[in-house]
Chain A
Amino acid sequence: AQRVTQPEKLLSVFKGAPVELKCNYSYSGSPELFWYVQYSRQRLQLLLRHISRESIKGFTADLNKGETSFHLKKPFAQEEDSAMYYCALKGAQAAGNKLTFGGGTRVLVKP
């Protein structure tokens, strides 16, 4: 079974401070991990995916298979980063490639 856990419901940081959103997963195969973001009054959209090893809007995330984690980090948070963030896991084709989401973390960046 696929499972994604985001232990923090809310993260409140000051502008310019580092922010780290935790994501842990449970999956027996080789997963693909994603971070999605939903800004106020906007649709859910892809932020980044682990296979790209990219930095988007200053955010990075490293897949740690040993710890089954995919934490999202940004060294200097900006006010426009305030949003809901969802970690998601896509299983193998045998599992229908379905995307399983965590419960989400609300990030509030204070001025």
Chain B
Amino acid sequence: EAGVAQSPRYKIIEKRQSVAFWCNPISGHATLYWYQQILGQGPKLLIQFQNNGVVDDSQLPKDRFSAERLKGVDSTLKIQPAKLEDSAVYLCASSLEAGAPYGYTFGSGTRLTVV
């Protein structure tokens, strides 16, 4: 089975610029998550989708971050404008369903550096 695909792998941008990340979950996985992992910390959930609906975006900085999953498959996460503190690895994960009694499958992540 193919894993969770993310692109790009790396991105360097200047502060105040915009950036977008893409995620393609495992086929058939209804639930998709975006996590932010700052260096030296554990992953922090930004947003959770169930199909194309948002389940939890309580920790998403909505003044600059946005995410969508229009057709309930692929998802994009956007930052506009970026700040230095947004430098992190952005992880996408998917699971068959939100109530699945097992963990999630993670992508390789996108490493963002804001200079």
B103 at the interface (CB under 8 A from A): yes
Give the size category of B's interface with A.
Answer: 20 to 34
CB <8 Å contact, A104 and B42: yes
Q: Which residues of B contact A6 (CB under 8 A)?
A: 42
User: Which parts of A16-48 form the interface with B (CB within 8 Å)?
Assistant: 32, 34, 36, 43-46
A82-111 CB contacts (< 8 Å) to partner B = 86, 88, 90, 93, 96-104
Q: Residue on B with the closest CB to A32?
A: B101
**Residues B89-115 near A (CB distance < 8 A):** 91, 93, 98-104, 106-109
Option from A43, A100, A103 in Cβ contact (under 8 Å) with B106 = A43
Q: Are B44 and A101 in contact, with the CB atoms below 8 A?
A: yes
Q: Are B42 and A101 in contact (CB under 8 A)?
A: yes
CA distance A90 to B104 in the complex (A): 10
B interface majority secondary structure: loop
Shortest distance from the beta carbon of A105 to any chain B beta carbon, whole Å = 10
Interface size class of A (residues with CB under 8 A): 20 to 34
If A44-B91, A103-B41, A104-B41 touch, whether A98 touches B48 (CB-CB below 8 Å) is yes
Q: How far is the CA of A45 from the CA of B41 in the complex (A)?
A: 16
Chain B 34-49 interface residues, beta-carbon cutoff 8 Å to A? 35, 40-45, 48
A45 touches B106 (CB 8 A): yes
B33 proximal to A (CB < 8 A): yes
Complex alpha-carbon distance, A9 and B34, angstroms? 24
Contact between A99 and B45, CB atoms less than 8 A apart: yes
B56 within 8 A of A: yes
The 8 A CB mask of B16-55 against A (1 = contact, 0 = none) is: 0000000000000001010100001111110010000001
Q: Do B98 and A36 touch (CB < 8 A)?
A: no
13 A-B pairs besides A43-B109, A88-B42 with CB distance below 8 A are A34-B103, A43-B108, A46-B102, A51-B101, A88-B103, A96-B56, A97-B98, A97-B99, A98-B56, A101-B43, A103-B41, A103-B42, A104-B42
